[in-house]
Structure 1
Amino acid sequence: MTPYRLNRLFHPTSGRALDVAVDHGFFGEPSFLAGIADMPATVRTLAEAGPDAVQLTMGQAPLLQRIPQRTKPALVMRTDVANVYGNPLDEHLFSHHVPNAIEVAVRLDAVAVCVNLMQLPGRPDIREANIRSIMALREDATRLGMPLMIEPLVMQDNATAGGYMVDGDIDRITALVRQAVELGADLIKADPSDDLAEYGRVIEVAGEVPVLVRGGGRVDDRTLLERTHAVLRAGARGIVYGRNIIQHRSPAGVTAALMATVHEGAGVDEALAIIEEHAR
């Protein structure tokens, strides 16, 4: 992998990145569409807010890339689709990657592609499918110089926790992050742990591979900002937040607050004031 594309992802001064994930529609779950039903409006709002990157699927990426603006956010392209988020789960589960995803990402001028590495209770077949996708994508990504972001997800049982709920057990997170590194990840998109004081272990097992931390479910602004500070202190190179931005009462305000936190070291109270200023 050549690192040139990542120059458009990581901030030249802070060396960090804020990526806003709005690829949720790919998975076919109705509950995922809250806040992103109108994708052209969503992408316009995010482009104006100015995060470092926006994570989209190949079908929605043109909404960002056709904006005639030199300073717009970079594109991170989702490459795989799965039906593992329903409650109850479908009888037949699957996970597939787009066969020509890397070529599509090159044509769309993406800075990286993203693929899952999921651990579901009692379903090793899904993890196997993810590994097969990662190995196929790794081959093409190396050939075409496209950075590969692997997203390790330690999932809870949907029957007890509902869809899209992850396990914050630090031991399970670190094991799956390490597997992602061993599979050739150029970037890691990892869950926060239940005990954020232990998050340095995730950074340690990732080694030289930059870790961007997922936002997870919706939380209040102070909790979100405190969590962001904790993972950055631990050594994370950035964050990938979705619902905590796109479902926020002021997406532009929370984006500005997070950019100030990630790149300028703004304190929690300072960042909260930025949100309130935008919300007026």
Structure 2
Amino acid sequence: MTFVGKQIRMERILNRKTRRTVLVPMDHGISVGPIDGLQDMKTAINSVAAGGANAVVVHKGLVMEGHRGDGPDIGLIIHLSASTSLSPFPNAKTLICTMEEAIKLGADAVSIHVNLGDGLEKDMLRDFGEISYQARTWGMPLLAMIYPRGEKIVDEYDVKYVKHAARLGHEMGADIVKVPYTGTPDSFYEVTSGCAVPVVIAGGAKMDSDRDILEMVKGSVEAGGAGVSIGRNVFQHASPGKIVRAISSIVHDDATVEQALELL
């Protein structure tokens, strides 16, 4: 029954035909406060839902406030770990929500964040292992956000680190792995070819142009990526719904960058 439950939930966040997804993380409030684009959560979620996003990632306290407000239906991923920019250890994520809470709130999936190379990596891996076990037990899809960030990491976009991060997520039992984009399709293929579960890319810092965003998305898909999990470059966009629609056209319809730009 848990296998059937996981299948049903996965269909809420992963397109059955393309096996790809467009996720919009909106979990930034705990880390950095109510930044631009996330002051009004109902409006923010409605706009990306209207654009065709598959799911949003939020913390537990925002589920009743904003999820599936007045707009189209959209998948719900509840984020289980967090840290703040005010901490002396901002990269050390700790669990702040339980699997039981997520299930009671109606989650279609849960997510956890691990920073490899951080001094407290061992604690984050221990938490990851426990959540992975619980996710398997309850048939709950697990999105693992794995970033190479720590004292030993020279460049978090270096393919040798990113492919290690993706493989770790796979071997720890994640159903979808989120990692940084390595910059080129050739280098990102090294990441996807070493990870047998869907790999989505993070959006990173706010980009200067729509073309930059869409070229990154296209490059990742060409390399075997399963879509995106893009936050600031979506919810801080002048037209969040339109940029989601453009991204979705590449992820789900294999549109070119030029075709996607026309949607803007």
| Structure 2 residue matching 1:249: 3-state secondary structure | coil
Pick aligned residue for 1:36 from 35, 38, 60: 38
Match of 1:224 in 2: 213
C-alpha distance in 2, partners of 1:156/1:270?
39
Equivalent residues in 2 for 1:187-202, closer than 5 Å? 187-202=176-191
Match of 1:96 in 2: 94
Task: Give, in angstroms, the shift of residue 196 of structure 1.
Answer: 3.6
Unaligned runs of 5+ in 2: none
| Structure 1 residue matching 2:263: 3-state secondary structure | helix
Equivalent residues in 2 for 1:39-188, closer than 5 Å? 39-65=41-67, 67=69, 72-83=73-84, 85=85, 90=88, 94-98=92-96, 100=98, 102-120=99-117, 123-125=118-120, 127-155=121-149, 167-188=156-177
Q: How many residues align?
A: 257
Task: Give, in angstroms, the shift of residue 92 of structure 1.
Answer: 8.3
Task: Give, in angstroms, the shift of residue 93 of structure 1.
Answer: 6.9
**Residue 9 (structure 1) aligned with residue 13 (structure 2):** yes
Using a 3 Å threshold, how does the CA distance of structure 1 residues 44 and 11 change in structure 2: closer, same or farther?
same
C-alpha distance in 1, partners of 2:189/2:236?
29
Using a 3 Å threshold, how does the CA distance of structure 1 residues 92 and 50 change in structure 2: closer, same or farther?
closer
Indicate if the aligned counterparts of 1:50 and 1:72 stay in contact, CA closer than 8 A: no
Normalising by structure 2, report the TM-score.
Answer: 0.89
RMSD: 2.3
Task: Give, in angstroms, the shift of residue 139 of structure 1.
Answer: 2.2
C-alpha distance in 1, partners of 2:96/2:135?
13
Indicate if the aligned counterparts of 2:79 and 2:97 stay in contact, CA closer than 8 A: no
Aligned-residue sequence identity (percent) comes to: 25
- Cα distance per residue 1:77-104 (max 9 Å; x no partner): 1110123x46xx626874211352x112
C-alpha distance in 1, partners of 2:67/2:147?
28
Indicate if the aligned counterparts of 1:47 and 1:64 stay in contact, CA closer than 8 A: no
Unaligned runs of 5+ in 1: 276-280
Task: Give, in angstroms, the shift of residue 53 of structure 1.
Answer: 0.7
Normalising by structure 1, report the TM-score.
Answer: 0.84
